[in-house]
Amino acid sequence: MPRYKGRSNPKAIERAFPHIVEMAVPPTGFGKRLDAMHEWHHARGIQSRRGSGRYAEPTSYIRWCFADAPTAAQFQAASGGEVLMPTDPVALIEWGKRNIQN
């Protein structure tokens, strides 16, 4: 099924914004927490971008995508979830410089 006109493919979003915070979706959904996550983005002037997530029964995941590691870490501290290591080679080198200590 084609995407809506003007809407980006989740895989393309993850390539452009390689710093990802992944969260398991509760069985009843996020509820007001989801509103708080969108408000976090709005308060910082950031457009919320979500990736494809991975789906394994019975848990679904949502991926929040960010352009840089510090912003992803701030979001993770405020909302929970797990910061994933980027898969893009350039982003991976940048991630390693910021997160791996000698």
User: Is the pLDDT score of 54 beyond 70?
Assistant: no
Q: How far is CA 55 from the centre of its chain?
A: 15
- pLDDT tens for 59-87 read 688 889 888 888 999 999 999 998 887 66
Ordered by start, the domain boundaries in the chain are 11-99
pLDDT band (50, 70, 90) for residue 1: very low
- pLDDT tens for 15-31 read 778 888 988 888 888 89
Let me know if 25 is exposed, middle or buried by CB neighbors in 10 A (0-12, 13-18, 19+).
middle
Share of the chain above pLDDT 90, in %: 24
Q: How far is CA 45 from the centre of its chain?
A: 16
pTM: 0.71
